[in-house]
């Protein structure tokens, strides 16, 4: 869903004015430590982990599960909080002129399946990528600052897991 009823109502009052919006992103990893990146149509064909806005009265962890199901058709399990991010690189201007400054809560997640189904509206395609591969993508302004922490979170988590068969 490109814009929620709540946000459409706010936009009808403030037009394209800058809004600070709470959002979530799902840093979904597969068993090989690859991160799910999505090519975002609305943001000018740039790549980042999928996610979206937290609706009024919605728990952020619930929002991240909902957003990923809507955008890429995956059921995820939240494994932990990676961090909360904001600042100038988290600003976006949409093609219609709407200005936003996101405060993003990033969750580390896993999925039972690895076949994502992009919605074709917000997300054009998805790929599972290593950290080195991610660096070669045309990323959102915020992703280069956050992805090193995302991959570090995964590596730290992987180091604490016991080897298979124990």
Dump strand ranges (E) for the chain. 19-29, 35-40, 46-48, 51-53, 76-85, 91-93, 99-111, 123-129
SS3 content of the chain, % helix, strand, coil (to 5): 30, 35, 35
- Determine the distance from the C-alpha atom of residue 30 to the mean position of all C-alpha atoms in its chain, rounded to a whole number: 15
Domains and CATH numbers, the chain: 18-159 (3.90.79.10)
Per-residue pLDDT tens for 75-116? 999 999 999 999 999 998 888 899 999 999 999 999 988 899
Per-residue pLDDT tens for 29-79? 999 999 999 998 876 789 999 999 999 999 999 999 999 999 999 999 999
Rg from Cα positions in the chain: 16
């Amino acid at each position: 869903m490109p814009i929620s009823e709540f946000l459409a109502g706010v936009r009808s009052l403030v037009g394209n004015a800058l809004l600070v919006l709470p959002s979530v992103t799902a840093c979904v990893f597969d068993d090989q430590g690859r991160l799910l990146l999505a090519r975002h149509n609305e943001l000018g064909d740039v790549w980042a982990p999928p996610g979206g806005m937290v609706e009024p009265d919605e728990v952020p962890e619930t929002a991240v599960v909902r957003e990923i199901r809507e955008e890429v058709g995956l059921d995820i399990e939240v494994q932990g909080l990676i961090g909360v991010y904001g600042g100038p690189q988290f600003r976006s201007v949409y093609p219609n002129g709407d200005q936003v400054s996101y405060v993003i809560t990033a969750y580390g997640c896993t999925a039972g399946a690895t076949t994502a189904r992009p919605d074709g509206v917000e997300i054009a395609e998805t790929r599972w990528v290593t950290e080195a591969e991610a660096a070669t993508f045309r990323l959102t302004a915020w992703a280069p600052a956050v992805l090193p922490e995302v991959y570090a979170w995964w590596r730290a988590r992987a180091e604490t897991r016991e080897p298979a068969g124990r």
